[in-house]
Chains A and B, each alone.
Chain A
Amino acid sequence: MSETLLTPRPLIRLEQLNKAYQTGEGSLHVLKDIDLAIGEGELVSIMGSSGSGKSTLLNVLGILDDYDSGAYYLDEQRVQGLSERAAARYRNRFIGFVFQSFNLLPFKTALENVALPLFYQGVSRKKRNQTALEYLEKVGLADRKEHLPGELSGGQKQRVAIARALITNPKLILADEPTGALDTETSYRLMDLFRSIHEQGITIVIVTHEHDISARTDRCIVLKDGRVER
C-alpha cells in the first residue's frame, strides 16, 4: 500500500477493524474492515459526512471505545480489550485530545486546565503549574493564565485546550472538529498552530468536515459509510 511506503514506521496501524453498535432493532455496523496506517510525525485529516463513522473511528483511535474484530496497533502495541484503568493510562501518556467544544473545566483557570493531565500523572502542584505556564507560553496565552474559560474567546479557549493536549508530551494529538466552533480566520490561525506543533514531530489526526481545513493537512483520509474511500 502507498501509505506504508510513505511511512516506514507507522504510529497507528489498523487491520481489518470492525465495530458495530447494538441498537434496539439490531446492530449498526459503523466501521467496516478498516485498514489504515498513520506514520509517526504525520499531519492527517479524517473527513466524512455525518454518519460516516469518523467520530467512532476517533473514539477507537483515542482508546475511548473498544472494537469488535481486527486489530489496532498504537506505537507497535496492540490495543484491545484494555481495562478502564489501563486505557486511562494509555490516554494519559500517549494521546492528547482537542475537542470541538473545547471542554475546559469552567471553574478552573487556564493554567489549571492546562495542568490537569499532569495531576493524573501524580506530578506535584508546583511542577504542574510551572510546566503548564511553559505550554501556555507556547500557544501565546501566558498572560491569560489566571483567566477562567468563560473570560476567553473561542480561539483562545481552543489554544488553551491544545496546550492541555500537549503538556504530557504525547506521541499523538487527536482533534475532533477543532475548528467547528470558530470563525474562518481563527480557524486558519489554529491550523497554523497545529502545523507548528507538527513540525516538532508530533503526529496529529484531525477529524473535520471542512475541506479548507483538510486542505491544510498533509494527507486526507475520507470515510464513507464506514469504509476508507481513499
Chain B
Amino acid sequence: MLNLDAWHETLETLRRHKLRTLLTALSVAWGIFMLVILLAAGRGLERGVEYDFRDDATNSIWISPGKTSVAYKGQPPGRAVRFENDDVDAIAQQIRGVERITGRFYLWGEFSVSYGMKTAQFDIRGCHPGHLYIERTRILEGRFINDFDVKGRRKVAVIGPDVRAQLFGRRDPLGEYITIRGVKYKVIGLYEDDGAQNELRKIYIPITTAQLVYSAPRQVHHIMYTVGDADLQQSEGMAAATRDLLSRRHRFSPDDKRALRINNNLEQFSKVQEIFAWISVFVWVVGVGTIFAGVVGVGNVMLISVKERTVEFGVRKALGATPWSIVKMVLQEALLVTSLAGYAGLCAGALVVEAVNRYVPENDYFREPQVDFEAALWAVGILVLAGALAGVIPAFRAARVHPVVAMRGE
C-alpha cells in the first residue's frame, strides 16, 4: 500500500517535469519503435522467401541425369546417363524414407492441343501419381493420374487452369476429349498450382503413355521424391544413397558429380532458414543496440536531473528520507519513464507495421510483416531491465547527496 503511494509520488514527479520526462521518454520510445520495425521487417522478408518456396515441396529431392566425366569400369567418359522406369522403382524400393516418388517425362517443345475448333500450345509432362505431392499441385475437380492410368497406359489428361480457360472457356472440361498430336485424351482432372504463371499451362498425362507417344519406351527424364519429415542430415543421407544406387545401376563412378545432379530442396530451404536465423540475430543486435543507446540517453538525462535536484534530495533526506528510499524513488522514475515510453514505442511500431500490411501491395520479397507476441514480450522485458539499468547510477548518486548541502541553500 505504501508502495502504491510511492508509485503515485513518482508519477506526480514525472507529471510536474513534463519536458524532462518527454525528452527522456523519446529516446527509449525510439529504440523500441526501431526494434519493432526491424523485427517486423525481418519477419516480412522471411515470409516473402517462404512464399517463394511454396511452389514445390520443400522436402523434395530432384535427380537429373548428366554425362559421365570420368572413365569407370571400362566405360569411357562422356557417356550420357539415361534413367528408366526401373530406376524409379529401384529408388522407391531400396532407398529408405522415400515418401512419394515420380518420374517425369517431357514432351519437348510446346504441343498443339485442340478441343473442338480451338487449338493452343501447351507443355506436356508425363508423370507418376506421386507428382501431385512433389509439385504441391491441388486438384480442383476430378482426380489426378493414378496407378491404373500408368499401368494401363491410359490416354487421360489432367489440365491446368490456363489450359481450361483457353480450350474450354466456361465449359466443364471433365470427361471431354482433347487432341494432342492426333491422339485423343480424356480430361479427368483440373488442377491449381501456386507456382509461377507457366505452371498453370501444363498438361499431365501418365508417364507410360507419354513414353509410348514419343517412342521412347521406359525412358525417364527426371526423378523426384519427397523425404517425409526427415531432417536435413537424413535427407542428405538419402541423396547420397540414391547417388550410390544409381551409380551402380548405370555404371558410373559414385564420385562423378557430372553424371548425376541431385538437388536437395530441403538443403536449400535449410540454408535459407539459416540465413533468416542470422538476419534475426542481426535484427536483435541492432535493435537491442538502439534500445541501449536509448538507455544511455535515459541514464544521461537522469544523471543531469539528479544533479539539478541535489537540493531536493538533500531536503528529502533532512525530512527523513533514507538513502534507500531515494534510490527507490529515482529507480522508479527511470522504470516508469522507460516502460511507459517503451509501451508507446511498441504501439507506434505495431501501428506502422499494421499500416504497411494494409497499404503496401504484396510482393515476392516482402509479405505480411508482423510483430509476434513473443518478440513483443521480449522487448518489454528488455525495457524493464533497461529502465532499471538506466536508473542505477543516477539513483546511487542521488542517495549519496548530503543533507547539509540542502541546509546551505542554493
Contacts and interface: CB of A to CB of B under 8 A. Distances in A.
Interface residues of A, number: 32
A99 B320 contact: no
A32 interface: no
B2 A120 contact: no
17 contacts: A55-B407, A65-B404, A85-B322, A85-B323, A85-B324, A88-B322, A89-B320, A91-B317, A91-B320, A97-B407, A101-B409, A103-B315, A103-B318, A107-B17, A108-B16, A117-B319, A120-B316
Most A CB within 10 A of own CB, among B13, B311, B321, B323:
B321
A121 to B, nearest CB: 7
Contacts of A119: 5, 9
B407 A107 contact: no
Interface in A83-112: 84-85, 88-89, 91-93, 97, 99-101, 103, 105, 107-108
A103 B320 contact: no
Interface of B: 1-2, 5, 8-9, 13, 16-17, 311-312, 314-325, 402-404, 406-410
Given A107-B13, A120-B325, A125-B8, 17 more contacts: A55-B407, A55-B408, A59-B407, A64-B318, A64-B403, A84-B322, A85-B323, A92-B319, A93-B320, A97-B407, A101-B410, A103-B311, A108-B16, A119-B9, A120-B321, A121-B320, A125-B5
Contacts of B9: 119
A206 to B, nearest CB: 14
Contacts of A105: 312, 315
A116 B2 contact: no
Given A103-B311, A105-B312, A107-B16, A116 B408 contact: no
A97 B317 CA distance: 11
A103 B409 contact: yes
B320 A120 contact: yes
- Closest CB pairs A-B (n = 5): A92-B320, A101-B409, A107-B16, A120-B320, A88-B322
A85 B321 CA distance: 8
A89 B17 CA distance: 29
Contact of A122 (B2, B323, B409): B2
Contact of A99 (B13, B16, B409): B409
Interface of A: 55, 58-59, 62, 64-65, 84-85, 88-89, 91-93, 97, 99-101, 103, 105, 107-108, 116-117, 119-122, 124-125, 164, 168, 176
Contacts of A65: 404
Nearest to B408: A55
Contacts of A117: 319-320
Contacts of A100: 409
Contacts of A93: 320
Nearest to A56: B404
Contacts of B5: 119, 124-125
Contacts of A120: 316, 319-322, 325
A99 B322 contact: no
Contacts of A97: 318-319, 407
Nearest to B315: A103
Given A107-B16, A124-B5, A58 B407 contact: yes
A62 B315 CA distance: 13
A62 B318 contact: yes
Given A59-B404, A85-B324, A122-B2, A116 B316 contact: yes
Nearest to A122: B2
B319 A164 contact: yes
Contacts of B402: 64
Contacts of A85: 322-324
A91 B322 CA distance: 10
Nearest to B323: A84
B150 to A, nearest CB: 85
A97 B1 CA distance: 28
